[in-house]
Amino acid sequence: MLKTAFYILAVITVLSAMYVVVCKNLARAVFVFFATLFCLAGIYVFAFADFVAITQIMVYVGGIVVLMLFGIMLSNRQLLNFLVDEKNETRFFSLNKTGAFLLSATVFIGLIRMITMANVANLKWLKDAVSSQQYYTGFENSPQIIGVQTMTNYLLPFEAASVYLLAVLIGAAYLARKKKIG
């Protein structure tokens, strides 16, 4: 039952990601991206990362997707019948669709091969973690663990993230301000 749910989520995630990548309609692509992120949050739950899953839904689905919709609506006058003039233009990376597909397929095959060769299920530190009962069993209170670790072991990255967020807040407000008032 759990496995079935996991594989359904996995299939939806991968298929919707592929649709996002090839879809011509920008608004539809963003809404399908929403589905990808939602199913990905479900997959995080299967890895016992409840808190990360909720954070994903709040930050990505609640924030980033809405921001992207704003970006598309403010920067595209013909939202529904947008221009398709694919000819006679240089691309950012001067690769056509076939070349890009071949490149990503090569990366995909290489990574899959690497994962099979690495034999991750038999890594030493994973076996040690299993034998010393350090793995999640599903009965832990992961938000509590994360809270304690944030204030002890990972305090420096936490503070760095807060300074970074302040810098981003100032930078984004500065970039988006109205120029030449009056």
Pick out residues in 76-105 that bind other proteins (CB under 8 A). 76, 86, 89-93, 95-97, 99-101, 103-105
CB count within 10 Å of CB 56 equals 20
Angle between helices 2-22 and 26-46 (to 10 degrees): 150
Nearer to other proteins, 92 or 181 (CB): 92
Site for other proteins in 162-181 (CB under 8 A): 164-165, 168, 171-172, 175-176
Does residue 111 interact with other proteins by CB under 8 A?
Answer: yes
**Which residue from 66, 34, 40, 35 is spatially nearest to 52, judged by alpha carbons?**
40
Does residue 74 interact with other proteins by CB under 8 A?
Answer: yes
Nearer to other proteins, 2 or 80 (CB): 2
Number of residues that bind other proteins (CB under 8 A): 88
Does residue 61 interact with other proteins by CB under 8 A?
Answer: no
The two tokens of residue 27 are 């608004």
Residue with tokens 């040690």: 128
The two tokens of residue 163 are 């300074």
Tell me how far, at minimum, the Cβ of 2 lies from other proteins, in Å: 5
Does residue 2 interact with other proteins by CB under 8 A?
Answer: yes
| Structural contact between residues 1 and 20, judged by C-beta atoms closer than 8 angstroms | no
| Structural contact between residues 44 and 53, judged by C-beta atoms closer than 8 angstroms | yes
Look at the alpha carbons of 170, 175, 176, 179 in this order and tell me if their dihedral is positive or negative: positive
Does residue 155 interact with other proteins by CB under 8 A?
Answer: no
Does residue 71 interact with other proteins by CB under 8 A?
Answer: yes
The two tokens of residue 131 are 């034998």
Does residue 12 interact with other proteins by CB under 8 A?
Answer: no
The gap from C-alpha 57 to its chain's centroid, in whole angstroms, comes to 11
Site for other proteins in 112-141 (CB under 8 A): 112, 115-116, 120-121, 125-126, 129-130, 134-138, 140
Tell me how far, at minimum, the Cβ of 165 lies from other proteins, in Å: 6
Does residue 26 interact with other proteins by CB under 8 A?
Answer: yes
